[in-house]
Structure 1
Amino acid sequence: MSDLSGPLAGANAVGSLAGDDAVVVVHAGEEPPDRWVASLFLAGPTPRSAEVASWRPDALSAIRERWSGPGTLVVFVPEPRSGAPWPEYEHQRTWELRWGDRADQVVFWIPRGPGMPALTTNDEFGRWKDSGRVVLGTPPDAESVRYQRGYAADQRIPVASTLTGTIDLALARLGSGALRTGGERHVPLLVWRTPSFQNWLARQTAAGNELLAGRLEWTFRVGDDLERVFLWAFHAHVRVAAEDRVKTNEVVLARPDIATVVAHRPAAEVADTEVVLVREFRSPAGFVLELPGGSSEGDEPMREVAAVELGEETGLTIAPERLRAHHVRPLAATFSAHRQHLFSVELTEDELAAVRAVTGPLGETGSSERTYPRVMRFGDLLAGGEVDWTTLGALAEVLLSGRDSS
């Protein structure tokens, strides 16, 4: 939230960019357009007196000069339009948090010094610094910004020492953006661009449902610069077409879909069928037995992902064309939106013996993954409690029904 103590003089208030369709400026208390391809929120200190000029007009000029996207870039400015009064305090606060939470990038420019102590800026930075949507700029002579710059270095937040450099960092992250309308505007680009979100949204749209609003609650990001979203949580407001109501009390949690393989040696009795599982340590549960499988950050066909994961985790080299496709289902529909792409392959006695001979650990080189292949009898898995219900369900899909949806 801006550092406010009273109205600014008109000469220091931020003006609009009227007439520029590519960049639309939305001032404090105003409503944004119903569609855009990208959005920025200009966070940082607001002058506390008419003698100190706002930095935001220069930021807007730089944005206008540099934005070359194919559609509308909305810039949220937490200062009133030139000549307009400040909104009532609580309205101002609500407006800032609402659109700062939803902007594709939050631009922090912190020229902390006399007339701009940036007290509320500290709270804003604390709210959004771990969101994956922040760039930080501080001039060399800014006061008391060592903590912000140090945290940014630790968490891979892009940092600049000039205002134009800070704007460039934010625009580079936006790229060409992506068109969003209505409630879709509430989904920041870093999650909008993930296949897991697009898969969830496509299923809602196919059912006739509509995303009305929402808020990104959390992301878990991976990569050297924490640039890839692996897991996200979004508080969605969805109009449920079949019930003609709006559901607002749940969070959508999702990660990339996974591909798993039931590698087995059939027997005369289903209970005697031998299957290949892997034993692996999972932080929520300790050591578990599960199907070999995993996900991909790219766009490889899931059949190929399944074959690669089977090889990495069990040592079996199986050509993708040997894998038989089964249904694609959620693993825990009330908990997460991601799905399991299930495949199966019948093994020879020699292949089964090769798995038995592996002492492990195996897993993806260079990661923390360690897997220990195990050959188990299906009847023993049914009788014991060594595998979870999801794994048992996948085994039943292959060994009992034998249906093929490919």
Structure 2
Amino acid sequence: MGADSAVTGVDVVYTHENPPDRWEAAVFLAGPTPRSAGDPSWRPEAVAALRERWDLANGRLVVFVPEHRHGVHDDYTGQIEWEERCLNLSDEVIFYVPRDLTTMPAFTTNVEWGMWHDSGRVVFGAPPEAPKNRYLLHYAEKFGVPTATDLPATIAAALDRIGSGASRTGGEREIPLLLWRDRALRRWYAGQRAAGNTLLGARVVFRFGTHWGLHVRMHVAAEDRVKDNEVVFGRPDISVAVLYRPAETLDETEIVLVREFRSPCANGFVHELPGGSGAGGPAEVALAEIAEETGLVVKPARLREHGPRQVNPTMSVHRAHLFSAEITGEEVARLRASGPHGVAADSERTYVEVVPFGRILRERLVDWACLGMITEALHRRT
């Protein structure tokens, strides 16, 4: 059985029913279900509030209701599997917990909250008199989850985050709005579509700040096969700068590196080029990163642009925008004499090292991607 189509633009999908093939937004009504048919559920009121508040101009809002349309409770395992599928399909999981220890103890809700509270796509509401919600509210505050003390305000908080939604169909529905609106993801997906590939499914496997991972299932048009064993990683693009002092030979040409502790590095410290991500255009970010990580202020006119490329296309969708600039002997001396740099608030501490290119090769000071960027800049220096 499918969803019921409503003139308000809100489609309700009950337990065991299949979701529609397209929508602009989807929400899941998580919270306690009455133990007996004689006790009223809070979900009809939630659906009515969603119908009232949802803007028809935004298209279709799907509401997943983990209750049987006809009040029948059967197939416990199937219920769990249906809920897991629809929770992952949802742009916002609306937790409303009017807990009553006799009629709606919300034991399952506690488990679901523990699984979803840090997902970035939940809101939490509960009447002030509802017992045993203090622990849940603690983690709502800790993870910045919007909270409310009544059902209308809880619904409003979820719809505020959804906004106008975004039209998605098929496998696209499995990418929640918080990732669908990510610039790196949109660029990656546009490239896949331009190549004729089809997203058949997706599952968010992690999200940490502006970084995310998405397990995808893709139909590869050029090979007419399905590939589903990879995770796509995403983060904001970076800008990277090769600062160099020319010499008589390529091996003697000096390159500005920054040494910094990075947890994934095998020995803790890594040598890399000045670079990073931030607000502004790629060149603006490059100049800011040079100043932050080396203390050197470079005028925009000195930068030469080499364009963007993916750094690790077998894993991450982000790109590095490469720039280079020739520096003077006096600037080299200042860099060598400078102390630690970086942004303390970001736990960043960098040490400047000016190193001949030949030494970089002999001692394997940088990774292959960094070496490629240095080679590109030196090859194009004249």
Give TM-score scaled by structure 2 length. 0.93
Counterpart-to-counterpart distance in 2, 1:342 and 1:32? 45
Is residue 376 of structure 2 the alignment partner of residue 402 of structure 1? no
> Cα–Cα, structure 1 residues 17 and 63, in superposed 2: closer, same or farther, change >3 Å?
farther
Q: Specify the alignment match of 1:10 in structure 2.
A: none
Q: Deviations over 1:171-196 (max 9, x none)?
A: 11111112212111100111111112
Between stretches 325-334 and 132-141, larger displacement belongs to 325-334
> Cα–Cα, structure 1 residues 87 and 318, in superposed 2: closer, same or farther, change >3 Å?
farther
**Match of residue 225, structure 2, among 214, 232, 245:** 245
Amino acid paired to 1:132: G
* Shift, 1:328, TM fit: 2.2
Is residue 268 of structure 2 the alignment partner of residue 290 of structure 1? no
Q: Specify the alignment match of 2:7 in structure 1.
A: 20
* Shift, 1:343, TM fit: 1.1
Query: In the comparison of the two structures, how many residue pairs are matched?
Result: 376
Amino acid paired to 1:96: E
Q: How is 1:119-158 mapped onto 2 (pairs within 5 angstroms)?
A: 119-158=107-146
User: Structure 1: any 5+ residue segments left out of the alignment?
Assistant: 1-15, 222-229
Amino acid paired to 1:121: T
Counterpart-to-counterpart distance in 2, 1:291 and 1:236? 32
SS of residue paired to 1:115:
coil
Over the matched positions of the two proteins, sequence identity in percent amounts to 52
* Shift, 1:84, TM fit: 6.6
Q: Specify the alignment match of 1:352 in structure 2.
A: 332
Q: Specify the alignment match of 1:38 in structure 2.
A: 25
Is residue 312 of structure 2 the alignment partner of residue 332 of structure 1? yes
Amino acid paired to 2:361: L
Residues 102 and 216, structure 1, Cα contact 8 Å, conserved in 2:
no
RMSD (Å) for aligned C-alpha atoms: 1.8
SS of residue paired to 2:251:
helix
Residues 28 and 86, structure 1, Cα contact 8 Å, conserved in 2:
no
* Shift, 1:362, TM fit: 1.5
Residues 135 and 169, structure 1, Cα contact 8 Å, conserved in 2:
yes
**Match of residue 147, structure 2, among 143, 159, 162:** 159
* Shift, 1:393, TM fit: 1.6
Q: Specify the alignment match of 1:186 in structure 2.
A: 174
> Cα–Cα, structure 1 residues 321 and 178, in superposed 2: closer, same or farther, change >3 Å?
farther
Counterpart-to-counterpart distance in 1, 2:345 and 2:106? 43
Amino acid paired to 1:352: V
Counterpart-to-counterpart distance in 1, 2:187 and 2:247? 38
SS of residue paired to 2:229:
coil
Counterpart-to-counterpart distance in 2, 1:77 and 1:321? 59
Residues 244 and 326, structure 2, Cα contact 8 Å, conserved in 1:
yes
Amino acid paired to 1:211: L
Is residue 191 of structure 2 the alignment partner of residue 203 of structure 1? yes
* Shift, 1:252, TM fit: 0.9
Is residue 216 of structure 2 the alignment partner of residue 254 of structure 1? no
* Shift, 1:337, TM fit: 2.1
> Cα–Cα, structure 1 residues 32 and 147, in superposed 2: closer, same or farther, change >3 Å?
same
> Cα–Cα, structure 1 residues 373 and 66, in superposed 2: closer, same or farther, change >3 Å?
same
Residues 314 and 372, structure 1, Cα contact 8 Å, conserved in 2:
yes
**Match of residue 50, structure 1, among 37, 41, 50:** 37
Q: Specify the alignment match of 1:310 in structure 2.
A: 290
Residues 232 and 255, structure 1, Cα contact 8 Å, conserved in 2:
yes
* Shift, 1:294, TM fit: 0.5
User: Structure 2: any 5+ residue segments left out of the alignment?
Assistant: none
* Shift, 1:126, TM fit: 1.4
Residues 8 and 51, structure 2, Cα contact 8 Å, conserved in 1:
no
Give TM-score scaled by structure 1 length. 0.88
